[in-house]
Amino acid sequence: MRVLLSLVFIIVAAVPALAQEPIRVGLLTIRSGAVASCGRQMEEGFQIFVKERNGMVAGRKLEVFVGDSAGQPAQTRTKAQEHVERNKVHVIVGPIAAFEAIAISDYIRQVEMPTIISPASADDITQRKANLWFVRASMSASQPTHPLGEYAAKKLGYKRVATISDDFAYGHEHTAGFQRTFEENGGKIVQKLWPPLNVADYGSYITQLKTNVDAIYAGFGPQNGMRFIKQYREYGLKLPILGTVTTIDEGQMKAMGDEVLGTITAGSYSSVLDNPLNKKFVAAMQAEFKDEPGFCAISGYMGGVFLEAGAKAVNGKIEDKAAFMKALQGLRLADSPIGPVKLDAYGNPITNIYIRRVERRDGRLVNAIIETYPDVSQFWKYDPKTFLAAPVYSRDYPPAKNIE
């Protein structure tokens, strides 16, 4: 039976409570709207982490407060303030959406609150607007699509692609990352469409899509990706589909059918990653929530892993915020469910990026791994200083010079 985190949950450890007060964690999530499924899975992933540790990290009990932003930037800031000023948390984990991380950045800097961003992917929060109180436990928006663009041009041989993506920061950035490397490797983006995040029906956009292309890049969040591909196939269109990690997320696969077979996406995770830590995590998610974990679930879990590593490095003395942040910034994991992880100088993970293709295995849909790009930085193969001297990726950058 699915049990979501209540407004406040406390998991009592199986060992006697220590005299120290608990480590208080503020979780920022979304429970309604277009990305609510990601919020739910993030909470589930974090809850699995807490349960695995018997509610203890670095010898101290965990007390977790959950704030629902409803996907509204102003409310995200309000919930962050509640965590800091009322709940007196030691660390924040979250938020979900890119625009939420941007909305709270100044406040987090002002109050000097250690924050483990997961899964919000806004590029600039670990680039031009890097915040010393942020580290990211997931990845930046364009980090997986840089290799995907190269893969589409060099390995798949695609020359012409049309893109259709959610019209907000996350959609803009991962689409731009794909465009840049695809075109640098000889491809052309000949059309770009931007449906609103909460659009109900993609029909009017699907009928605009060019058909004289090799593939469609569909850059959507989890629920939107599922709905778009279903409607796309219902219109009888058969062109190959590419996308980012959330276009085909394992958390939505139970509601998908053959229409998604063959879709190629890129991300830092797949539930079929063949390592012991991931197998344990997947088994726990399936047992506890009857869910196949995707990017959002593993992001919540990795938020906990980062918290634990930082807390252990300071011997549980998480109240020393500067020391705790220094420990987080120097984090290196030789192994994790997503593979090896280390942070760059801006607080963003350098991690494997997996090219995934939807297949059926034993009767179920999976994101099978068909290529691995090891140790991918948010700056891809570019010099960081040169990269940061250019504008942040957006609807208009890099310029679309091949639109027809």
- Complete DSSP assignment for 145-192: HHHHHHHHHHTS---EEEEEE-SSHHHHHHHHHHHHHHHHTT-EEEEE
Residue 168 has a pLDDT of 92
Q: Which two tokens stand for residue 26?
A: 């503020």
Chain centroid, CA 169 distance in Å: 13
According to DSSP, residue 210 is labeled -
- Element (H or E) spanning 232, and its range? helix 222-234
Q: Which two tokens stand for residue 102?
A: 């941007």
Beta strands in 109-148, from DSSP E residues, in sequence order:
115-117, 134-136
- Regions of the chain with pLDDT less than 70: 1-19
Q: What is the pTM of this model?
A: 0.93
Residues 290-337 pLDDT 10s: 989 999 999 999 999 999 999 999 999 999 999 999 999 999 999 999
Chain segment 89-120, per-residue pLDDT in tens: 999 999 999 889 999 999 999 999 999 999 99
Taking CA atoms, 331 is separated from 179, 215, 248, 318, 328, in Å, by: 31, 39, 29, 15, 5
- Taking only the tens place, the pLDDT of each residue in 259-276 is 999 999 999 999 999 999
pLDDT for res 324: 98
- CB-based contacts of 274: which residues, under 8 Å, 6+ apart? none
Give the pairing type, strands 241-244 and 332-333. unpaired
- pLDDT for 16 equals 41
Among residues 285, 253, 242, 320, which one has the least CA distance to residue 47?
285
Residue for token digits 């893969």?
Answer: 151
Residue found by looking up tokens 């990305």 in the block? 35
Give the model confidence (pLDDT) of 28-50 as tens digits.
999 998 788 899 999 999 999 99
**Average pLDDT value over all residues in the chain:** 94
264, 239 Cβ separation under 8 angstroms: no
Contacts of residue 210, Cβ cutoff 8 Å, sequence gap at least 6:
162, 190, 191, 404
HSE, side-chain direction, 13 A CA sphere, residue 35: 31
Distance of CA 234 to the CA centre of its chain: 28
Nearest CA among 336, 388, 303, 324 for reference residue 126 = 388
| Domains of the chain, CATH where assigned | 8-139+275-350 (3.40.50.2300), 145-272+352-389 (3.40.50.2300)
HSE-CB at 200 with a 13 A cutoff on CA atoms is: 0
CA trace torsion 19, 304, 128, 218 (10° rounding): -160
Q: Tell me what pLDDT residue 19 has.
A: 53
8 Å CB contact between 299 and 118: yes
The answer to whether 289 touches 2, Cβ cutoff 8 Å, is yes
d(CA 3, CA 81): 26
